[in-house]
Structure 1
Amino acid sequence: MILCTICARGGSKGVKNKNIRKIDGLELIAYSILQAKESGLFEHIVISTDSDEIANVATKYGGEVFFKREAAMSSDSAAKVPVIRDALLRSEEHFKRQFDTLIDLDATAPLRTSEDIKKAYALFKSGDYENLITAVPARRNPYFNLIEELKEGGFDTSKPCSFVCRQEAPKCYDMNASIYIFNRERLLKQDDVFGTKTALYVMSEESAFDIDSELDFKIVEFLLKERRLNAKG
C-alpha cells in the first residue's frame, strides 16, 4: 500500500513555469511521473498542484489530479512536509483506502532513476525506519571549507577542523531533496525530516543538481542529454 506523490506548484520564480517547461524534449514534471511508473511500485501517482496547466500536463503522462492545492500551501514559504501530508489525506479520502507508506518525488530532480526509487524503498524496508531522505557526497567538506558569517559582522574562519588531509575527515553529505519516504504514522505526526529513525540513501554525484535557477536548468539539461546519448550506445 504505497502512495506516490509529486508536488509541483505553479508560481516558480527562479525558472518561470519550470515544472512544465521542456527539458531535453519532455516537460520537467514528466520525468518524475515516468520514473514512478517505471519503478513498478505504485498503483497511484498523485499530483499536488495549484496550477491547471501543470495538472493538464501531468495527466497526459499518467499522473492523477483530483484536487487543487490550497493557496496557503502554494507560497514560496510553504513547508514541504505539510503539503505531502495534505496529499496523503486527500488521497486516502479519494481512494477510500489507507496507505502504509508514502514516497514523494521532487518534480525538480529529474536526474534520479527508477532504480533509485526502488533501492531507496528497499533500504527503507530493510530496517526499523520511520522515514528516508536522499543525499549525495558533499562536494566541499565543511570540515575544511566552512566559513561562517557572524551576526555582529565579519567572518569566523576558525570552524574547519585540524585534520591534515581530507581523507581523514568524517564523510559528509548534501541533501539533494530527490526522494522522501515516510511511513504513515510519522508523516501524520511530525513536520521535520530528520529523526533518530531516518534512513539515508546516497545517490550518484550528478543527482546533486535540481532546478532552482536558469543555470541549474542548463546543467541538468546537459546531463540528461548525455545520459540519453550514452544509453543509445
Structure 2
Amino acid sequence: MNQTIATICARGGSKGLPGKNIREFAGKPLIVHSIEQALACPAIDTVYVSTDDACIADVARAAGATVPYLRPAELASDTASKLPTIEHMVQHLERNGIRIECIVDLQPTSPLRDNDDITRALLKSPKAPLVVSVREASDNPYFNLVERGADGWMHLSKGGGNVRRQDAPKVYALNGSIYVWQRAALAQAAVNGLWSVGMDGYVMPGWRSVDIDDLDDFEYAQWLYQRHRN
C-alpha cells in the first residue's frame, strides 16, 4: 500500500539559536510540537525525522517519531540543501520496501501551526505536484516593493505604480511551515530546484506562520502562543 509520510528535518547545528530544535517551547522541546501535530493527522502513516544529532534523535523517538539513521555529514552542513535531504530519506525508505505516494514535510521551527493546518494542506489541491503553506504578504510589489533599475534609481518592482494598496493584486510569502509533495515532484525538485514543479498554496494566518531562527523569533513565538492558545 502506498503511504503518506511526514518528514521533519532538524540539524543539530544552529548559529542563530544554538540547540533550538530541542529548546523548550511551551513545555516541550520545539521539535516535539511538529511531531505531535503530524501524529495527530489521520492521513499520515508514519512520521520520520532526519537529523545528524543524537540528542535530537532521542527526543524525536521519545515523542513517537521514527529516526531510521543519523544524517550523513554532507547533508548536515550549513550549505546543504533541504530537498536532497528529504529525497535521501525517501530513497532510504523505498530501498527498505516502503511505497511512498505523498510526503508532508514539516519545518520544526514552525510550532504555531494547527493540527488541522496539515490536513487542510493535504486536501487543498490533491492533484498538485506540490502544495506549499503561505501567508498573505505585508508588502506588495505592485504598491511598495522597489528594486534598483539599470539606470541606478529605485523603481516599483511590478506594475505602473498607479494602484492603491487595497486595489493591488494579493501576493503571498512562503512561510516554510508545510510542504505537501507528490513523490515524483519531490524527485524532480531535488535535482532541478523548488520552482521546477507546479505548486498551489495553502494560506495560513500570519501569527501561525512565524519561523523561529533566532532568540527574538523564539520569544515572539512564545508570546503569540500564550496569546492565542490560552
Question: Normalising to structure 1: TM-score of the pair?
Answer: 0.90
The aligned runs of 1:133-172 (5 Å cut-off) are 133-148=132-147, 156-159=154-157, 161-172=160-171
SS at match of 2:202: strand
Taking the aligned partners of 2:209 and 2:36, their CA distance within structure 1 comes to 20
Tell me which residue corresponds to 2:182.
Answer: 183
Tell me which residue corresponds to 1:25.
Answer: 27
Q: Percent identity?
A: 36
The amino acid of 2:61's aligned partner reads T
In structure 2, runs of 5+ residues without a counterpart are: none
Tell me which residue corresponds to 1:116.
Answer: 117
Aligned length: 225
In structure 1, runs of 5+ residues without a counterpart are: none
Tell me which residue corresponds to 2:207.
Answer: 206
Say if 1:32 and 1:105, in contact at 8 Å, map to a contact too: yes
Taking the aligned partners of 2:102 and 2:39, their CA distance within structure 1 comes to 17
Taking the aligned partners of 2:95 and 2:22, their CA distance within structure 1 comes to 28
Say if 2:130 and 2:197, in contact at 8 Å, map to a contact too: no
Say if 2:189 and 2:195, in contact at 8 Å, map to a contact too: no
Alpha-carbon distance, 1:151 to partner: 9.4
Q: After the TM superposition, which of the residue ranges 38-47 and 159-168 deviates more from structure 2?
A: 159-168
Pick closer, same or farther for the CA change 1:142–1:158 going to 2, 3 Å.
Answer: closer
Alpha-carbon distance, 1:91 to partner: 2.0
The amino acid of 1:83's aligned partner reads T
Taking the aligned partners of 1:211 and 1:57, their CA distance within structure 2 comes to 19
Alpha-carbon distance, 1:196 to partner: 5.8
SS at match of 1:176: strand
Question: Normalising to structure 2: TM-score of the pair?
Answer: 0.91
Tell me which residue corresponds to 1:219.
Answer: 220
Which whole-Å deviations, capped at 9, do the CAs of 1:130-173 have from their partners, x for residues lacking one?
Answer: 11111000011122222325799x65244364233111111100
Say if 1:176 and 1:207, in contact at 8 Å, map to a contact too: no
Tell me which residue corresponds to 1:66.
Answer: 68
Moved over 4 A (4+): 149-152
